Amino acid sequence: MKVAVVGATGLVGSEILTVLAERNFPVTELIPVASEKSKGKEIEFKGKKYKVVTPTEAIALKPDVALFSAGGGTSTEFAPQYAEAGITVVDNSSAWRMDPTKKLVVPEVNGDVLSAEDKVIANPNCSTIQMVVVLKPLHEKYKIKRVVVSTYQSVTGTGVKAVNQLMDERAGKEGEKAYPYTIDLNVIPHIDVFQENGYTKEEMKMIQETNKIMGDDSIRVTATTVRIPVMGGHSESVNIEFENDFDVQEVREILAQQEGVIVVDDPANLKYPMPKDAHGKDEVLVGRIRRDESQDKTLNLWVVADNLRKGAATNAVQIAELLHKKGLI
């Protein structure tokens, strides 16, 4: 299968290449794609070297699937051109997520919605992905009424510039800044741009995307998203109010059986999910599972995942795997 990776030189693009290799996706020919300034650079994949081409050049090479990770502008411009050429696009930007004509997919949650007509498929926001994988089986069993989520998000979610800022600050060096404030030894309660309602765009993404992926607009969601000086993964404190009551041990068992979830919940032995433990893993880790004693039929969870893997690259590759398995590419 001919596979194009658009944005192959970026943080998520590099991770996509790693995940494609690790999961033995049936790549017969890799087409690494990046901007004009990266044209001709060499990318190594499974011991072979491939030259980077531009997005326009890649269309002519007729890949079967193109995994986009080059920002919303590139996706808006090129995804329709690829689709027009018969190439299936899995897009990692926010460009198509809330487009009613495009599917927003987390394979373990709503992979069944994919069809042959879907030529541009949206990969959700990283913080939404890890949350809905956990919400899905609980919604099926107890019916979710409301979710309150606070996130603790890794600097890797912003990109290389943010990682460099953190490392420069830690080393006491001046350098280029991704954030308006110091991130080392600090937290910034601001991810993406502020909206008229006082929420940030990241917070609104979590609210709207959760409803779309879960296929249920009756679930009320509110979010506060925060950047912290951590690498390796995003963490989330999730408070879930259900219509029906639950047994905490049964909740643990349901989550343990959910595809893509690992329960790490043994407070007596200080076992709970942390970003450093999620780093490099494809699964979502969940722990601190307990009843909210301030309100009936309400549960508290702590959810952690590697935002560059399940939150981006792995989910995109899993969508491609599902398309392949269904014979859609």
- Residues at the annotated binding site for substrate? 153, 227
Binding residues: 9-12, 37-38, 97, 153, 227, 307
| Nearest residue to 35 via CA among 61, 66, 58, 7 | 7
- Structure-token pair, residue 250: 């049964």
- Structure-token pair, residue 313: 């690259």
DSSP string for 173-200: -----SSSS--TT--B---SPBPTTS-B
Residue 139 annotated in active site: no
Three-state SS for 53?
Answer: strand
Q: How far apart are CA 140 and CA 208, in angstroms?
A: 19
Binding residues for phosphate: 97
Beta bridge partners of 51: 42
Q: How far apart are CA 219 and CA 189, in angstroms?
A: 24
Q: Which of 126, 139, 190, 279 is catalytic?
A: 126
Q: Which of 139, 234, 279, 324 is catalytic?
A: 234
Residue 279 annotated in active site: no
Three-state SS for 24?
Answer: coil
| Nearest residue to 130 via CA among 318, 319, 313, 310 | 310
Catalytic residues: 126, 234
